[in-house]
Amino acid sequence: MAIANHKGGVGKTGIAQGLITAAAEAGQRVLAVDMDAQGNLTRRLRAQVPAAPEDRARASLASVLQRPAVGEIERILVPCGYDDPTYSERITIAPGHLELELLSLTAGTASAEKRLLRALHGVTDAFDLVVIDCPPNLLSHQIDIAFSAADVLLLPCEAEYDAVESARRIYERVDRDRHTLNPDLAVAGMVVNRFRPNLNVHQERVAEIANVRGADHVCPTRVHELVAVKGQAEHARPLRADTTPQGREAADAFRDIHSWLRSRTATVMGATA
Ligand SMILES: Nc1ncnc2c1ncn2[C@@H]1O[C@H](COP(=O)(O)OP(=O)(O)O)[C@@H](O)[C@H]1O
Ligand SMILES: [Mg+2]
């Protein structure tokens, strides 16, 4: 599952983190693939990466994707660094690195966009869910690489005017390029993030988001604007580590989003098969 939106700061990585930890809590083995050169997911999941900068590049996805052998991603996988074995034993990370930005230099080479697919080949069998956290753009080579490897796409968005147009553009890009990039790519739908239920304008925007492709494309559980959600990023910890009522509310929301995605993914993947 690729998590993407061409806007930064809409919560792609936050949704990825919440979803990955919720999946582990549900007993799934999860592979987190950090395709963003910022490496935020890598840090937030406390991936144990080498201290020396030159070693860090070699032990990252940027190095694997230069010219991957089949299944090569295996060589860089590290466990999640949270203390609780629920996470450390079930979540594995392919760390991101700044040099992922250099991949665009080799975009024109043969089958360049299939590099992640090739690197993942066979390795994904050991996991129930693979989540690819994408950088904030839509037409880049990195996105082509991510979309070529994914079965489904999840679009985090905010309940704001620009998000409606943005969602439309993403669906249009998938419709337009699916046949060349990945004919099997399906869009699971959108998750509304930073929702504030007491704002009328947010209610209205959610209704418009549902008009983009129909209400079944919008996850019924919204992620509210919460200090607890900020906390999972700032403190690099699972939401369940926040034992306040708000922490529980946020963790329960991701439990429900994960559960919706399980059935939604089965539906949309069946439709493209
Ligand atoms: N629902 C939310 N409530 C509060 N803060 C949030 C929420 N979603 C995201 N944030 C915060 O907003 C910032 C951007 O989120 P992030 O997940 O990094 O976005 P992206 O990956 O799309 O750039 C981060 O500091 C994150 O903690
Ligand atoms: Mg991000």
pLDDT at 110 over 90: no
State the ligand closest to the CA atom of 34. Answer: 2
Ligand 2 geometric centre to CA of 18 (Å): 13
Give me the mean pLDDT over the 245-252 stretch.
Answer: 97
Which residue range forms the structural domain that includes residue 178?
Answer: 2-272
Best of 44, 162, 194 for a ligand 1 pocket test (most atoms within 8 Å of beta carbon): 194
28-40: average pLDDT = 98
Least confident of 97-106, 184-193, 216-225, 238-247: 97-106
pLDDT 10s digits, 168-210:
899 999 999 989 899 999 999 999 999 999 999 999 999 999 9
CB-based pocket (< 6 A), ligand 1: 8-14, 40, 136, 193-194, 223, 225-226, 229-230, 233
Average pLDDT estimate for 70-94:
98
Q: What is the mean pLDDT of residues 91-98?
A: 97
Q: Is the pLDDT of residue 107 over 90?
A: no
5, 12, 13, best to mutate for ligand 1 pocket (most atoms within 8 Å of CB): 13
Question: How much is the average pLDDT of 230-244?
Answer: 98
Q: What is the CATH number of the domain that holds 179?
A: 3.40.50.300
DSSP per-residue string spanning the chain: -EE--SSSSSSHHHHHHHHHHHHHHTT--EEEEE--TT-HHHHHTT----SSHHHHHHTSHHHHTTSPPTTGGGGG-EE---SSHHHHTTEEEE---GGGGGGGGGTTSTTGGGHHHHHHTTGGGG-SEEEEEPPS-SSSHHHHHHHHH-SEEEEEEESSHHHHHHHHHHHHHHHHHHHHH-TT-EEEEEEEESB-TT-HHHHHHHHHHHHHH-GGGB-SS--B--HHHHHHHHTT--GGG--SHHHHHHHHHHHHHHHHHHHHHHHHHHHH-
Is the model's pLDDT at 145 over the cut of 60?
A: yes
Domain count, the chain: 1
Q: Band of the pLDDT at 108, cuts 50, 70, 90? A: confident
Confidence of residue 271 (pLDDT cuts 50, 70, 90): confident
pLDDT at 272: 65
In the reported structure, the alpha carbon of residue 230 is separated from the centroid of ligand 2 by a whole-number distance in angstroms of 13
